[in-house]
A and B are shown apart, each in its own frame.
Chain A
Amino acid sequence: MSAEQAGYVPERRRSVRKEAAGLGRRLAPLEVVICCGSGGVGKTTVSAALGVAIAAAEDKRVLVLTVDPARRLATALGIKGIGAEPVRIPKARLRRAGITIAGDLEAAMLDMKQAWDRMIERYSPDRLTAQRILRNPLYQRITDSFVGSHEYAAMEALYELHDAGEYDCIVVDTPPSRNALDFLEAPSRLTDYVGSRLLSLLSGGPSRFGFRAMNFAAAPFLRLADRLLGAEVLAEVSDFVQQLQLLYDGIQGRARSVSRLLRSSRTGFVVVTTLEQGPFDEAEFFCTKLREFKMPLRAVVVNRVLPDVFRDAGGVAAATTLVEDPKVAAWLAGELHLRVSAEAARFIGKTFLSRNTLAHREARQLAKLGRLGEVPIVRIPLFSEEVSELEGLVRIAKTL
């Protein structure tokens, strides 16, 4: 890639800005806004800022739903704590921090354990089955460790909340996934898991899917598994699986509804990323997958972008002279009538140049975002002054 291609042209920059203007307004008509991206990119803060921006744009009841251990969201919103019960963010406090919201803003945290328990209760054919599953020692561990289980519980809770219709718009801060795909695939993955023939075969009972013949073929494998793990483990697993399979129809039906909601025009995805290689690659991959799954991507928010000032050509020239010219300190001392140490001159030049290197790297990354197609891209600059959490949030909300 050439330097010209790498640095983005001012023309393009203007159009990006124009498109980006009023993301809050653009998202306001949606009923569900899902923020996703890899961990550590400021997803929770951006979700909260989106909630603020939407409530500021239109008179709507907005809920920000987080799955994070909530502290982050609470701090960002300047309130003490957030629980499963939604908490209202006082308008007066937001006004003091510099923004007036037309609508209502509330925040809540998702209680993962509760979400799972309710799900089991909902889909169990009878109370006894529900109790057996909830009491099984493997249950908690499975809900903790099953890939995509948090994502699935989040989707479930989202669906319930949306269905209840108490809010005009729900902004979801998704769980930090090991893999972005976990989130999108969670519904189908769970049905696959629960309905899998291998599991039904492991459960030992008559297979409801008619793969009895496989029992024969699998026998030596099961014997081996038995030797590996010991018979008791296998028995526990098998009991659990047998119970879980009774829930299959319910889970499958709901997974389909969730999947429909995610693909509908009432829903929008916002991918949040920084320009660091890892999160950036994941964001790009995520955008591609959203398209593949036909889930509507509404915007890409790029967080913590170094301001343009760090790519200023005059600045680079001045910094280079300060670092490289051995006589610069003496000249400055004479000109400015000041004691100037060579170290101070070099330090000022060096701090700028190292940020300049990063800023160029970031510009190359930003240019790559063009590959994502016609998606509005919003840049949130890296702020370097200390402000309170809520003020910082409001500032981000205004950028949006």
Chain B
Amino acid sequence: MSSPAGTPQRSWSPSTAVRRAIAGERIELATLLERRVVFVAGKGGTGRSTMTAALALLGARAGKRVLAIDVEAKGDLAAALGSPPAGFAPRVVQHDLSVLELRTDESFQEYLNIYFKVPRVTRLTPLARVFDFIATGVPGPRDMLVVGKIAYEERRKEPGSRSPVWDLILVDCAAGGQVESHLGAAKAMLTLVRGGLIRAQVEWIDALIRDSRRTTVVLCALPEEMPVIEAIELHERLRMGSGVAVDVCLLNRAVVEPVTAAHRHLMTALIDPEHAEVVAQHLGGSPLPLDAGLELQAHLYDTTARYLRQLRNKLPMPVVPVPLIVDRTGLTTTRAVADALSNRLG
């Protein structure tokens, strides 16, 4: 981002953020898909895997060669893409879309293989364990391998050509604060590792993460108290810590259809004792339970609106509600979410 000559670059201030949030600033889907690496982060249960998968579908639909990476995989991402569990090697799930499941041991083996020519699999166990113990104590190395593998995929070129293998890499981050340690790993390593062969590699990974044109974070939240607070706090820590850019916050499972006066009016008439019998007969059952449905809808709509406001007040980036999709599972849900996202993001 450049500032006009003579104008000092202004830092972000809350008032701008509030203005932007009220205007409901939108982010072009195309902008998001132009990035090289997108980390999808959020508390457990906020639908990270579904969002990652939906963005991956949209990327592939836009003609990008997409790699979706599941960190500390439980197989959720592959499932959301309608695929059986993937492995450490990218697995093609559909045209232009592959999925990879990232595990630390395997990253470590590959790392040694690439940079130290240590053959894979053989006699690595004791070394891997030594490494594991250091890595448990010193936060850098383990996270570094995760980020390192991602950066390596970003850099990978087609054999005999200069064009990259992937246009877009989407990362389904492990739950909670782990994304911070991953994104901050390079920075932490730079203060820790002053020599050694790893230093140079850490430097280019750090540069990749801090480059807001290439790397960004998508925050996921739910219209509930803790996920909202955690998304806000995570954003703040990311901003202070790793210096990575956050493009958008997705409010998942949003209830976006309000209950109007007309709906309430009709409901009241439906359950009016005066007509109850004839209405129940015509409809094939008593409409009384439907009132609970309307109440719940109104309550969830209010809750969504409240948390949407809170997020928009606190986050200096677009906050986009993604409607609750209840009646489908797996790839079908992912497709529905992808459609919703593409409508909302424009």
On A, residues with C-beta under 8 Å from B are 38-40, 71-72, 138, 141-142, 144-147, 176, 178, 193, 196, 198-199, 201-202, 217-218, 221-222, 224-234, 237, 240-241, 276, 278-279, 307, 309-310, 312-322, 328, 331-332, 335-336, 338, 340-341, 343-345, 347-349, 351-352, 354-355, 357-358, 382, 384-386
Q: Does chain A have a CB within 8 A of B265?
A: yes
CA of A336 to CA of B181, assembled, Å:
62
B282 within 8 A of A: yes
**A229 pairs with B263, CB closer than 8 A:** no
Does the CB pair A39–B133 fall under 8 Å? no
Complex CA distance for A341 and B292, rounded to whole angstroms: 20
Indicate which residue in A237, A313, A349 contacts B138 across the interface (CB closer than 8 Å): A237
CB distance from B246 to the nearest CB of A (A): 21
**Interface size grouping (class) on chain B:** 35 or more
Complex CA–CA separation, A53 to B323 (angstroms) = 36
Q: Which residues of the other chain, B, contact A72 by a CB distance below 8 angstroms?
A: 225-226
29 A-B pairs within 8 Å (CB atoms) are namely A39-B45, A40-B43, A138-B138, A141-B137, A144-B139, A145-B139, A176-B44, A202-B133, A228-B197, A229-B134, A229-B193, A229-B196, A232-B194, A233-B193, A279-B45, A307-B292, A309-B292, A312-B285, A322-B290, A332-B270, A336-B275, A344-B266, A348-B287, A351-B290, A351-B297, A352-B292, A354-B326, A384-B295, A384-B296
In the complex, how many residue pairs between chain A and chain B have their CB atoms under 8 Å apart? 224
B324 cross-chain contacts in A, Cβ below 8 A: 354
- Chain A residues, Cβ within 8 Å of B283: 317-318, 321-322, 328
Within the complex, the shortest CB–CB distance from B118 to chain A, in Å, comes to 8
- Bound form: Cα–Cα A26–B183 in Å: 47
B279 cross-chain contacts in A, Cβ below 8 A = 332, 335-336
Smallest CB separation, B109 vs chain A (Å): 13
Select from chain A the residue with minimum beta-carbon distance to B278: A335
Interface residue SS majority, chain B:
helix
Q: Which of B19-27, B51-59, B171-179, B336-344 contacts A (4 or more CB under 8 A)?
A: B171-179
Which residues of B are found within 8 Å of A276, using beta-carbon distances?
45
Other-chain contact of A347, B112, B257, B272 (Cβ < 8 Å):
B257
Q: B89 in the interface, Cβ–Cβ < 8 Å?
A: no
Most central of A144, A202, A336 by chain B CB within 10 Å: A336
CB neighbours (8 Å) of A382 from chain B are 296
- In the bound complex, what is the Cα–Cα distance between A178 and B259 (angstroms)? 38
A77 to B207, CA, bound (A): 46
* B193 with A314: CB separation less than 8 A: no
List the one stretch of B2-10, B94-102, B122-130, B309-317 in contact with chain A. B122-130
Name the interface residues of B176-223: CB closer than 8 Å to any CB of A.
176, 178, 181, 192-199, 222
Do residues B270 and A348 form an inter-chain contact, with CB atoms below 8 A? yes
A344 — which chain B residues lie within 8 A by C-beta?
260, 262-263, 265-266
Q: Which of these, B43, B178, B266, B302, contacts A39 with CB under 8 Å?
A: B43
B318 close to chain A: CB less than 8 A: no
Q: Are A315 and B287 in contact (CB under 8 A)?
A: yes
How far apart sit A344 and B294, CA to CA, in the bound complex (Å)? 11
Instruction: Find A233's partner among B131, B138, B288 (CB 8 Å cutoff).
Output: B138
A72 to B275, CA, bound (A): 46
Which residues from chain B contact A352 at a C-beta distance below 8 Å?
Answer: 289-290, 292-294
Q: How far is the CB of B305 from chain A (nearest CB, A)?
A: 13
Encode B33-75 as 1/0 by CB contact (under 8 A) with A: 0000000000111100000000000000000000000000000
